[in-house]
């Protein structure tokens, strides 16, 4: 199936208020353009250099999501234009994002990435680390950062019960963090969870943002 057919099919399966992020990592800019022509606006990349290159080739209104691990020394390259940084997993990274947001005279939206057990990636915060960040008043510590929600990846397993229970725990945590730390803010709204293999479960468990690569673009050529 073509990219546009894949996008149409996935959109027809998900609620309208769920954001579809097309993960274009390892895909050439032409494929981003093809998806954009099919009405896709949100794109995810996991490497800074690749995002910067494609952003130069495919002009806005594309919204670029950084979904991978972000090194502090590379924040400056995406700070001028990035739409949402999903993978924030340390106070040091928040410090750097704040600094670069000031330099670019903008507010940068981020999600805090949680580490769910059994997941392939070693990145992400434990619950304890998350709370250590949140107890410092983030709104006053980081006036140029908008914490918009949480992100997580389920374990690499074919056991749907495990995947579902991990998504469910993340949603419980999300609701608790929202009521404890962002009760008055209407901006803490996003729960980024779900990829090609598990987005249906993620949406049933409360995802507001799914990150889909292969189900849109086909297998990646590494
Ligand atoms: C690559 C990637 C995705 C997309 O994975 P698919 O299985 O191709 O849909 C989603 N999230 C993150 C963080 C990724 O690195």
DSSP for 43-106, written as a single string:
EEES-HHHHHHHHHHS-TT-EEEE-S---GGGHHHHTTT-SEEEEE--HHHHHHHHHHHHHTTS
- Kindly report, residue by residue over 137-156, the tens digit of the pLDDT: 888 999 999 999 999 999 88
Mean pLDDT, residues 173-184: 95
pLDDT the model gives residue 185: 74
Nearest CA to ligand 1 atom 4: 213
pLDDT the model gives residue 120: 66
pLDDT the model gives residue 116: 87
* Neighbouring residues of 174: CB distance < 8 A, sequence distance ≥ 6: 149, 150, 191, 206
- Kindly report, residue by residue over 33-60, the tens digit of the pLDDT: 999 999 999 999 999 999 999 999 997 7
pLDDT the model gives residue 80: 97
Nearest CA to ligand 1 atom 8: 213
Q: Is the CB of 202 under 6 A from ligand 1?
A: no
Q: For the chain, give the percent of residues with pLDDT over 90.
A: 87
How close is the Cα of 55 to the center of ligand 1, in Å?
19
Q: Which of 7, 23, 25 to mutate to test the pocket of ligand 1 (most atoms within 8 A of CB)?
A: 23
Q: Which residue has the higher pLDDT, 137 or 23?
A: 23
How close is the Cα of 137 to the center of ligand 1, in Å?
31
**Predicted TM-score (pTM) of this structure:** 0.96
> Which pair of tokens denotes residue 146?
């908008």
Q: Is the CB of 87 under 6 A from ligand 1?
A: no
pLDDT the model gives residue 118: 66
Statement: residue 95 has pLDDT above 70: yes
């Amino acid at each position: 199936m073509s990219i546009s057919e894949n996008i149409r099919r996935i959109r027809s399966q998900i609620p309208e208020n769920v954001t579809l992020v097309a993960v274009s990592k390892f895909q050439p800019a032409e494929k981003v353009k093809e998806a954009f022509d099919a009405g896709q606006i949100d794109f995810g990349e996991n490497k800074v250099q690749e995002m910067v290159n494609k952003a130069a080739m495919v002009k806005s209104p594309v919204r670029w999501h950084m979904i991978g691990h972000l090194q502090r020394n590379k924040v400056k390259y995406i700070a001028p234009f990035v739409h949402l940084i999903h993978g924030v997993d340390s106070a040091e990274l928040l410090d750097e994002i704040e600094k670069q947001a000031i330099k670019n005279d903008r507010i940068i939206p981020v999600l805090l990435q949680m580490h769910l057990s059994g997941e392939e990636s070693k990145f992400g915060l434990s619950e304890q680390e998350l709370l250590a960040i949140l107890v410092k008043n983030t709104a006053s510590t980081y006036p140029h950062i908008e914490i918009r929600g949480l992100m997580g990846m389920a374990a690499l397993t074919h056991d749907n019960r495990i995947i579902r229970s991990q998504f469910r725990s993340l949603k419980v945590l999300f609701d608790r963090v929202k009521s404890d730390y962002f009760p008055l803010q209407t901006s803490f709204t996003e729960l980024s969870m779900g990829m090609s293999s598990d987005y249906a479960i993620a949406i049933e468990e409360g995802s507001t943002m799914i990150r889909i690569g292969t189900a849109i673009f086909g297998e990646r050529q590494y």
